[in-house]
Amino acid sequence: MTTDLTIVAGDEIWDALGAAASGVLGARRDSDGTVCVLGPDIALGPEEYVLRKEDGVTVVRAGSAAGAFRALTRIRRGDHPADVYRDAPAHPWRGLMLDVARWFVPVEELIVLIDQLAARRLNVLHLHLTDDQGWRIPIPGWSRLTEIGAWRDGTTTRGAPIEGAPDPRADDDWGHGHRHDGVRHGGHYTRADLERVVAYAAERFVTVVPEIDLPGHMQAAIAAYPQLGVGAPDLPVATRFGLGPNLLAPTTEVERFIGDVLDEVCDIFPGTHVHVGGDEPRLETWRQDPVSIARAAELGLPDTDALRRWFVDIAASRLRGRGRTALYWYDGEVLSEEAIAVSWLADDGGVAAARRGAQVITADHTRTYLNYFARDDDTNPFACGIVLDEARAARFRAVPEMTDDELAGAFLGGQAQLWTEYAPHREARESLLFPRLDLIAEALWNGGSHP
Ligand code: ACM
């Protein structure tokens, strides 16, 4: 039997829906006549709803509070395709990744961003919490990660190039050779901050997916604890961008470190997915290190290159023990049989991962990296890379164009990315996010055919 519950719409809807999530519904009607009927056992998908306008009253039926929330988001936009319609997202995973490692993003900005995501019916905020340029999450027993790893002595900036440095638009330097400002900056969240962000997001049906990027992109952690890195190098937190040679050492102490970090991550973030990076390790570093060569042999690996998979596997297996599924950046190599591939390859890049049995989230860099220039003549000082214009963003499809229709089910959805190399503050970040995020969010909700 269906239990119909009427909940308030209009200005108080957000509170009411928060209450809906915890099962304490009121029975009120909005002044504009909108009535939301929530029947937990209606045969509708997790975010699906049916909307009907009748005699000046808008009635929404949804099978879950998330469905009702999505309907009311659309009502708020005044966007009604018909008097009666059924609406559901094309993809369950509709996200934005935000890089809070290269620049610390204050909690208040994350709170605003969560509202911006919810308004666009996005349901994942993936936080890239660690990288060479910063470590943002406190880990008990490893206090130097935030004491040392959360601060860097300046950054490269765009603007007038350093004399003799390559033009970032003319080659693959990507602006890394530009000026260095020498201004110390950084910051980190407290556990309470992160719990607040998670709770605020959950009330808006957005899941926060944390990322700890390993075994490369670890210079901030190695600056804090040199013994974590191959050769125990004495390094600062990185002040430039681009790929460094530093990698985690394949030692038992590093295994303990990864376990401690992921346990704390699982304690703070209740979502079912945790991203463990896996991207761009400089394999040369392990190849030349006698300790890594010996450990790879002891582990029975064919060579040190296989340590990349080994690191992702130990992280994925730790997460499995905590009931979570790992995600990793897919750039052509399936790094774990049990983890989900987030493919940042262009075009149909993720199809090969799907053919090999992986579940895939599409993050095609040529259509979703919002730090890229928005036009050929873009003078935005906070952008870098190649050109991703609005038309291209609008053509983003989570299921890449491909002939094998039976593989479509392997694609869970997609996400936009905001890497923050040259985006030090909110205004900069918003200048990159919008309007291209609107177009990607629309494509994720509607699916769409291939143009
Ligand atoms: C990436 O752009 N390295 C995921």
**What pLDDT shows up at residue 78?**
81
Residue 279 CA: which ligand 1 atom is closest? 3
SS3 21: helix
Q: Candidates 275, 276, 344, 372: which one to mutate for ligand 1, based on the most atoms within 8 Å of Cβ?
A: 344
Split at pLDDT 50, 70, 90, the class of 87 is very high
Say how far apart CA 340 and CA 342 lie, in whole Å: 6
Say how far apart CA 258 and CA 268 lie, in whole Å: 15
**What pLDDT shows up at residue 393?**
97
**What pLDDT shows up at residue 67?**
87
List strand residue ranges (DSSP E) for 313-368, in order.
Answer: 325-330, 340-343, 360-362
CA-nearest residue, atom 1 of ligand 1: 279
pLDDT at 1 over 60: no
Give mean pLDDT, residues 240-261. 95
Give mean pLDDT, residues 314-337. 97
Split at pLDDT 50, 70, 90, the class of 32 is low
**What pLDDT shows up at residue 281?**
96
CA-nearest residue, atom 2 of ligand 1: 344
**Ligand 1 centroid to residue 280 C-alpha, Å:** 7
Q: What percent of the chain has pLDDT over 90?
A: 69
**Ligand 1 centroid to residue 338 C-alpha, Å:** 20
CA-nearest residue, atom 3 of ligand 1: 279
pLDDT in tens, 117-150: 999 999 999 999 999 999 999 999 999 999 999 9
Residue 369 CA: which ligand 1 atom is closest? 2
**Ligand 1 centroid to residue 54 C-alpha, Å:** 49
Q: What is the pTM of this model?
A: 0.91
C-alpha torsion sign, points 208, 212, 217, 220: positive
Residue 365 CA: which ligand 1 atom is closest? 2
Kindly state the tokens that stand for 146. Answer: 């935030």
Give mean pLDDT, residues 389-400. 96
Give mean pLDDT, residues 258-276. 98
pLDDT in tens, 158-174: 765 555 554 544 444 44
Residue 419 CA: which ligand 1 atom is closest? 2
For the chain, how long is the longest CA-to-CA vector? 78
**What pLDDT shows up at residue 187?**
98
DSSP for 107-168 reads: HHHHHHHHHHHHHTT--EEEEE-EETTEE-S--TT-THHHHTTTEEE--B--SSPPTTPPPT
**What pLDDT shows up at residue 163?**
58
Q: Candidates 126, 329, 421: which one to mutate for ligand 1, based on the most atoms within 8 Å of Cβ?
A: 329
- Ligand 1 site residues (CB inside 6 A) read 279-280, 329, 344
**What pLDDT shows up at residue 37?**
58
pLDDT at 208 over 80: yes
Average pLDDT, the chain: 88
What amino acid is encoded at 119 in this protein? A
**Ligand 1 centroid to residue 370 C-alpha, Å:** 13
- Domains for the chain: give ranges and CATH numbers: 5-87 (3.30.379.10), 93-446 (3.20.20.80)
Split at pLDDT 50, 70, 90, the class of 53 is confident
Give mean pLDDT, residues 367-393. 94
